[in-house]
Amino acid sequence: MARPRTPLLNRERIVAAALRLIDEEGLDALSTRRLAAELSVSGPSLYNHFATKDEILDAVVDTVIGEVDLSMFGADGPPWPQALRDWARSYRAALAAHPNIVPVLAQGPGRRPNALRLADAVFGHLVDAGWPRGQATRIGALMRYFVTGSALASFAAGFPADAGVYDAADYPHLGEAHRLAGHGGRVDEGAFETGLEALLDGLALRFERLAARP
């Protein structure tokens, strides 16, 4: 029998299967035994490609980060406020597509190549635009906190749809709160956009003050 032209198992297949498992069932579902079963291979064969489960998880997270558009940070990209706006939206879209991975991603870039490229692109663009390096570092952190925080959970979905929960005597201002869950996407998207514009407006004022210093 002729040997297959492509290997039965490689890093890309492992990462894709792990991401699919996490998307469908959550982080707790990921184990080397379960992953091997999903790939129809023996458990030890995974270790020919990854030394530990944590390495697999790191690769999964980095794959998600690789979905974020960084093209706005090129030399011909827009001014820094628009670049941050476009990037934040792309970043949130990538996380929204894989919400179960967000708690791991929020821990920082570690040694993940795509995550480090993202950090380098944001920092470099801000410094090139005239931000001091310390400020650029803090802005990059601020934006990451904001985007990952917005992707961790739905604010609207956290309110029960049962109108009886919101007794007017106890919660006089929440008479319509039971409707929030039914409009979760619009509420959460609106909150993200409101917060993003508020952040960028504040940063623009700070940048003007920096530029006005003698």
Average pLDDT over residues 167-180: 89
Instruction: State percent of the chain over pLDDT 70.
Output: 96
Per-residue pLDDT reduced to its tens digit, 121-139: 999 999 999 999 999 999 9
Burial of 100 (0-12, 13-18, 19+ CB in 10 A): middle
Q: How far apart are CA 124 and CA 5, in angstroms?
A: 42
Residue closest to 57 by CA, chosen among 115, 6, 7, 141: 115
Instruction: Judge whether residue 116 has pLDDT over 60.
Output: yes
| Tokens 């706006």 belong to residue | 85
